[in-house]
């Protein structure tokens, strides 16, 4: 029963925000901004830049709120706007470049992940250290759950480029994790 009333209140909040109710917009912002900042931060190395992109994203959310048809998740709709904003920022800064790599066979080997004692912050630093193209494809695929065909369309590259970038990102991360584990075990 509580879930139904929560859903109705949620829909009312969206309706009020559509009508330019600033209080409702603020509530939605406060509800979703922590998670959306995290989404933007995955794509952008600087927290300040991620905050700016998130704010631009929310401006689009409130500007285009009328286009949300209540089909599917509202959070998913906002998330897609944030991802597109982050990718647009990378494109504008010409940071999103892809090397013209040789095709990788369809039976691409996936790098096995090993158990580590790494903290989330250390892993984020490793992801941040990836070249922008690798990092963007890795986040879209491994975190956001996009398929290679969707990534290719979103980034305006071929599916093979998406697969290659993911393969190389995983390989680079695995090397960094292995190096970190060797350093960690060497200090015990």
In the prediction, which pLDDT does 95 show?
Answer: 57
Task: Give the CA radius of gyration of the chain.
Answer: 19
- What percent of the chain lies above the pLDDT cut of 70? 77
In the prediction, which pLDDT does 2 show?
Answer: 39
Nearest to 82 by CA among 71, 90, 94: 90
In the prediction, which pLDDT does 22 show?
Answer: 94
Whether 88 and 10 map to the same domain: the answer is yes
Residue 135 lies in a domain: yes
Contact 180, 129 (CB under 8 A): no
Residues of the chain with pLDDT under 50: 1-6, 100-117, 188
In the prediction, which pLDDT does 9 show?
Answer: 64
Whether 129 and 82 map to the same domain: the answer is no
For residue 67, the enclosing domain spans 2-92
Q: Can you give the pTM of this predicted structure? A: 0.63
Residue 102 CA to residue 149 CA, distance in Å, equals: 18
Residue 115 CA to residue 28 CA, distance in Å, equals: 38
Q: What is the CATH number of the domain that holds 86?
A: 1.10.1740.10
């Amino acid at each position: 029963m509580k879930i139904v009333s929560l859903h109705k209140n949620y829909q009312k909040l969206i309706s009020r925000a559509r009508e330019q109710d600033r209080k409702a917009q603020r509530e939605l912002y406060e509800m979703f901004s922590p998670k959306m900042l995290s989404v933007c931060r995955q794509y952008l190395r600087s927290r300040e830049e991620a905050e700016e992109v998130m704010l631009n994203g929310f401006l689009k959310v409130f500007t285009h709120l009328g286009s949300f048809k209540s089909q599917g998740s509202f959070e998913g709709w906002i998330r897609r706007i944030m991802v597109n904003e982050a990718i647009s920022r990378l494109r504008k800064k010409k940071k999103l470049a892809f090397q013209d790599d040789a095709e990788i066979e369809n039976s691409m080997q996936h790098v096995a992940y090993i158990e580590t004692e790494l903290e989330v912050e250390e892993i984020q630093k490793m992801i941040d250290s990836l070249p922008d193209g690798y990092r963007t494809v890795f986040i879209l695929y491994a975190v956001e759950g996009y398929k290679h065909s969707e990534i290719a369309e979103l980034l305006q590259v071929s599916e093979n480029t998406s697969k290659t970038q993911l393969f190389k990102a995983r390989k680079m991360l695995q090397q960094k994790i292995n190096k970190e584990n060797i350093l960690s075990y060497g200090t015990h």
